[in-house]
Amino acid sequence: MMMWWFITTLAITAFFYNSPVYAYDNNPLQDICVAVSDSHASVFVNGKICKDPKLATPNDFYFSGLNVSGNAAPKSGVAVKLVDVNSMPGLNTLGISVSRLDFEPLSLFPLHAHPRASALITILEGSIYVGLFVPDPANFFKSRLFSKILNPGDVFVFPKGLIHFLYNIGNKKATSLIYYNSQNPGVISIPNSIFASKPPVPDDVLAKGFQLNKIQIAQLRKKFS
């Protein structure tokens, strides 16, 4: 009887651990995906629909131009060129993408996070000061800063979803490549998300949250608008 019970328990356990029905969810590939019960609604999958393999071409797996900088973000002095699933369709389902960042002297890529990817940065030119904020498990009102000055050949990793920044501390341009373990890593700019949202966050919420007065909040809104 004991042997039968052991074999039965082992079989049930193996079924639950190996059955795809009980597998964990895949990581999201877009910011929101609202469920609908309307059977006639348009289909919008969590990711990209696959092309018929017979119609694939070499250009689907090819991108040219990472050797030159991209377009500079307004007021930042940082140019970004991203190679993701939108610019290289062959990346679909592969869970990888890359970007090139070019920094003007003393320019800052401000506090931000990638909601769907960890990011691995390597420095090609210049010196970049990077900072990563890790929440304090004992006190969620605090965090620990992991920071480092990176030079050519140095590598640093930013775990998925954690806030970080990049600052060119040198007097010459700096260039880096960043690799993501997502075909669509996404980016959330913390200052702009807070002070330039539409509709705007109520002044009382921002004033209390940042311990500022409403005049200061208005000034910040103007800067990030």
Q: Binding site residues for oxalate, as ranges?
A: 114
What gap in Å lies between CA 79 and CA 49, rounded to an integer?
30
Instruction: List binding-site positions.
Output: 112, 114, 164
Element (DSSP H or E) covering residue 7: helix 2-18
Instruction: List binding-site positions for Mn(2+).
Output: 112, 114, 164
* Cβ–Cβ under 8 Å, residues 162 and 112: no
Q: What is the per-residue DSSP string for 98-155?
A: EEEEEE-TT-EEEEEE-TT--EEEEEEES-EEEEEEEEETTEEEEEEEEEEEE-TT-E
Cis previous bond, 89, omega within 30: no
* Cβ–Cβ under 8 Å, residues 100 and 77: no
* Cβ–Cβ under 8 Å, residues 175 and 101: yes
Contacts of residue 165, defined as CB under 8 A and 6 or more positions apart, other chains included, come to 108, 109, 110, 111, 112, 130, 131
* Cβ–Cβ under 8 Å, residues 155 and 120: yes
